[in-house]
């Protein structure tokens, strides 16, 4: 599965587990308006680290939090593993 | 330190009037009446008088004999668990100002040089010599696992404080603890005071072999930590014994383990005791339920319990009296209470243990005691043991993760279903930040030599 599809399916899993209604997953979706809260994002990042072997949020030197879904996917796609 | 003991006789004098006492190890037996007027230190016994003595025997059995002999003779009995490394032993020796080591092994490494007194076969001494009256201090390390060992001092009177005279028939005791830890020492002293039999385990003996020995000796009373019991219940050896009294201490006894023990030992009294090296024996709960009655709080009996900032405080004659060798560190507050650092929550007429204060996991500013989550996971009938810990998260600080040892080895499909069921159970019972983010199935969860689950903050 591609990185993009992995991320999208994990977002849907986490939202279902956490009983959150999420907005349609488009690249320009603002994460803060996605329907996921910070615990959901924390769980998502942990799951993606397990699946993709990368945690770009911890690995990056500067504190950089993506604002849109497209940025989030880009961060993982360009992350060294 | 050299104050004369007023009322309580020394352990040796006490044991001499208990002819029924038997301490049994594989291939070795000690009878109360055999100790009589004898020594295992031959002509060097008198040299130990008034000294700070480390009990450095490899064998539990020899340690038991040395304790009986040295109480009332040595100024300090310094007791360390058998797994202490030379580095930790050296720290203890320096903090407790040890000037003599008694041991059954001339080649054991204690980290520093001290005179070693070898324990040998008993030889007779004058009866007069047995009535030494020094109020020996009993010094034990607390059960924390990180950093330099912290030592506390007890008096024999305090250690014996929770022990009641035995009813007939005299019990046959067994314990998963080593007697050089507070939990095991309590059972050893119980056997001494009541003139009971005590079966010591041996480091080289398997759990199954110990159970076979316990079954042959008709063990009636047996004690260990909830982790010890969970481990025993994972093996068919649990069914070898038929005890009347099952005791848990040292960790939180959750509903799952209490129910599991009742199912395996329907005729036994299942009792969980609250005790620690610092706070001594607090109380015992035998109604089969987890936690303890709120009525125990704020009562003014032999043991006084108070909740302050959520942490249990204990005042009684059974607590340790002071830290040894910790410059300025105070064990007792101005009113004589020990802060146990055990977090307790009161819910109506019952109080529940939530976990150790130092073990708290911080999930986005919300505090989680791993024990609280384990208690819920353990309620699933297919779970034998679990361990909850923290996983670093760049967003929340920490997240909760769990390792689970299932009852049966499952196929991947079964494991998936079990994971879903455990998570559903957690979601139904716990706030969402306490639900594990991941569950990893493991064949077994190791417990420390102390009988407790290994945690980052023990």
What is the token pair recorded at B42? Answer: 């031959």
Q: Which of B2-11, B292-301, B314-323 has the lowest mean pLDDT?
A: B2-11
Which tens digits make up the pLDDT trace of A1-49? 799 999 999 999 999 999 999 999 999 999 989 999 989 999 999 999 9
Contact B433 A17 (CB under 8 A): no
Quote the pLDDT of residue B457: 52
Grade residue B410 by pLDDT with cuts at 50, 70 and 90: low
Contact A45 B393 (CB under 8 A): yes
> Is domain A3-77 given the CATH code 1.10.10 in the classification?
no
Looking at the structure, do residues B164 and B258 belong to the same domain, yes or no? yes
Which tens digits make up the pLDDT trace of B175-194? 999 999 999 999 999 999 99
Half-sphere exposure in the Cβ direction for A2 (13 Å, CA): 7
Looking at the structure, do residues B43 and B192 belong to the same domain, yes or no? yes
Number of domains comprising chain B: 2
Assigned domain for B446 exists: no
In order, the DSSP letters of B99-113 are -EEEES-TT---SS-
Q: If DSSP codes are grouped into helix, strand and coil, which group holds residue B144?
A: coil
Contact B364 A38 (CB under 8 A): yes
Grade residue A61 by pLDDT with cuts at 50, 70 and 90: low
B314: domain CATH number? 3.40.50.12780
Q: Which of B286, B321, B346 lies at the terminal end of a domain, its last residue? A: B346
Average pLDDT of chain B? 91
Of A18, A39, A45, nearest to B394 by CB-CB distance is: A45
**Closest by Cα among B13, B17, B12 to B40:** B12
Q: Which of A28-32, A61-65, B150-154 has the lowest mean pLDDT?
A: A61-65
User: What is the C-alpha to C-alpha distance for residues B392 and A55, in angstroms, rounded to an integer?
Assistant: 11
The residues, ordered by sequence, that sit 6+ positions from B55 with a Cβ below 8 Å of its Cβ are B63, B66, B67, B70, B77, B78, B79, B80, B102, B180
Q: Taking the CA atoms of chain A, what radius of gyration do you get in angstroms?
A: 12
Quote the pLDDT of residue A42: 92
Looking at the structure, do residues B291 and B435 belong to the same domain, yes or no? no
Which tens digits make up the pLDDT trace of B226-255? 999 998 998 889 999 999 999 999 999 999
Which tens digits make up the pLDDT trace of B94-137? 999 999 999 999 899 999 999 999 999 999 888 777 777 899 99
| CB proximity A2 to B under 8 Å | no
Quote the pLDDT of residue B36: 74
Place of tokens 């019952």: B350
Grade residue B370 by pLDDT with cuts at 50, 70 and 90: very high
Which tens digits make up the pLDDT trace of B39-89? 999 889 999 999 999 999 999 999 999 999 999 999 999 999 998 999 999
Quote the pLDDT of residue B2: 43
**Closest by Cα among B234, B236, B255 to B406:** B234
Please answer whether residues B370 and B388 qualify as being in contact, where contact means their C-beta atoms are separated by less than 8 angstroms.
yes
| CB proximity B428 to A under 8 Å | no
State how far residue B427 is from chain A, nearest Cα, in angstroms: 9
Mean pLDDT on B156-179: 92
Q: If DSSP codes are grouped into helix, strand and coil, which group holds residue B292?
A: strand
Contact B364 A57 (CB under 8 A): no
Quote the pLDDT of residue B458: 39
Report the chain B residue with the minimal C-alpha distance to residue A39: B396
What is the token pair recorded at B392? Answer: 């670093």
CA atoms A31, A33, A37, A40: torsion sign: negative
Phi and psi at residue B246, to the nearest 5°: -120, 125
Quote the pLDDT of residue B356: 87
- Residue A42: its chain B contacts at CB < 8 A? 364, 393-396, 399, 437
Mean pLDDT on B145-167: 88
Looking at the structure, do residues B270 and B314 belong to the same domain, yes or no? yes
Place of tokens 């109020």: B135
User: What is the C-alpha to C-alpha distance for residues B274 and A12, in angstroms, rounded to an integer?
Assistant: 46
State how far residue B405 is from chain A, nearest Cα, in angstroms: 20
Looking at the structure, do residues B231 and B148 belong to the same domain, yes or no? yes
Its domain, for residue B424, covers 360-441
| CB proximity A41 to B under 8 Å | yes
Report the chain B residue with the minimal C-alpha distance to residue A49: B393
State how far residue A44 is from chain B, nearest Cα, in angstroms: 9
In order, the DSSP letters of B154-216 are EEHHHHTTTPPPPPSSPPEEEESS-TTSHHHHHHHHHHHHHT-EEE---TTS-HHHHHHHHHH
Looking at the structure, do residues B271 and B130 belong to the same domain, yes or no? yes
Assigned domain for B284 exists: yes
Percent of chain B past pLDDT 70, that is, above it, reads 97
Looking at the structure, do residues B80 and B162 belong to the same domain, yes or no? yes
């Amino acid at each position: 599965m591609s990185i993009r599809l992995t991320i999208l399916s994990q977002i849907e899993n986490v939202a279902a587990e956490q009983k959150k209604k999420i907005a349609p997953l488009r690249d320009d979706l603002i994460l803060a308006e996605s329907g996921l809260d910070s615990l959901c994002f924390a769980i998502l990042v942990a799951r993606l680290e397990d699946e993709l072997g990368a945690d770009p949020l911890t690995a990056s030197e500067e504190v950089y939090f993506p604002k849109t879904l497209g940025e989030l996917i880009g961060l993982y796609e360009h992350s060294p593993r | 330190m050299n104050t004369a003991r007023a009322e309580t006789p020394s352990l040796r004098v006490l044991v001499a009037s208990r002819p029924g006492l038997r301490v049994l190890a594989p291939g070795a037996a000690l009878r109360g009446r055999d100790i009589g007027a004898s020594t295992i230190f031959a002509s060097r016994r008198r040299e130990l008088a008034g000294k700070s003595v480390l009990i450095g025997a490899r064998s539990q059995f020899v340690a038991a004999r040395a304790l009986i002999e040295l109480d009332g003779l040595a100024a300090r009995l310094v007791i360390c668990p058998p797994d202490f490394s030379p580095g930790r032993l050296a720290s203890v020796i320096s903090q407790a100002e040890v000037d003599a080591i008694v041991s059954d092994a001339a080649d054991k490494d204690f980290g520093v040089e001290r005179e070693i007194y070898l324990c040998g076969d008993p030889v007779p001494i004058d009866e007069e010599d047995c009535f030494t009256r020094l109020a020996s201090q009993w010094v034990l390390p607390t059960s924390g696992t990180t950093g330099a060992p912290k030592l506390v001092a007890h008096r024999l009177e305090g250690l014996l404080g929770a022990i009641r005279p035995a009813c007939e028939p005299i019990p046959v005791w067994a314990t998963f603890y080593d007697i050089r830890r507070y939990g095991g020492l309590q059972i050893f002293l119980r056997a001494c005071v009541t003139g009971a039999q005590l079966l010591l385990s041996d480091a080289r003996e398997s759990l199954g072999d110990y159970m076979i020995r316990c079954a042959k000796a008709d063990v009636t009373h047996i004690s260990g930590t909830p982790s010890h019991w969970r481990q025993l219940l994972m093996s068919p050896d649990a069914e070898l014994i038929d005890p009347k009294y099952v005791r848990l201490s040292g960790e939180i006894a959750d509903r799952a383990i209490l129910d599991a023990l009742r199912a395996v030992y329907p005729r036994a009294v299942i009792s969980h005791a609250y005790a620690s090296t610092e706070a001594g024996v607090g109380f015992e709960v035998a109604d089969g339920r987890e936690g303890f009655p709120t009525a125990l709080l704020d009562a003014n009996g032999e043991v006084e319990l108070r909740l302050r900032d959520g942490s249990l405080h204990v005042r009684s004659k059974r607590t340790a009296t002071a830290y040894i060798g910790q410059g300025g560190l105070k064990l007792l507050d101005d009113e004589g209470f020990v802060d146990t650092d055990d977090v307790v929550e009161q819910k109506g007429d019952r109080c529940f243990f939530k976990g150790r204060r130092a073990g708290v996991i911080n999930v986005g500013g919300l505090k989680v005691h791993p024990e609280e989550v384990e208690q819920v996971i353990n309620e699933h009938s297919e779970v034998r043991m679990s361990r909850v810990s923290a996983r670093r998260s760049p967003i929340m600080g920490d997240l909760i993760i769990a390792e689970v040892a299932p009852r049966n080895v499952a196929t991947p499909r079964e494991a998936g279903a079990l994971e879903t069921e455990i998570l559903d159970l957690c979601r139904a019972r716990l706030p969402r930040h306490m639900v594990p983010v991941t569950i990893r199935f493991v064949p077994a969860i190791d417990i420390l030599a102390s009988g407790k689950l290994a945690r980052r903050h023990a």
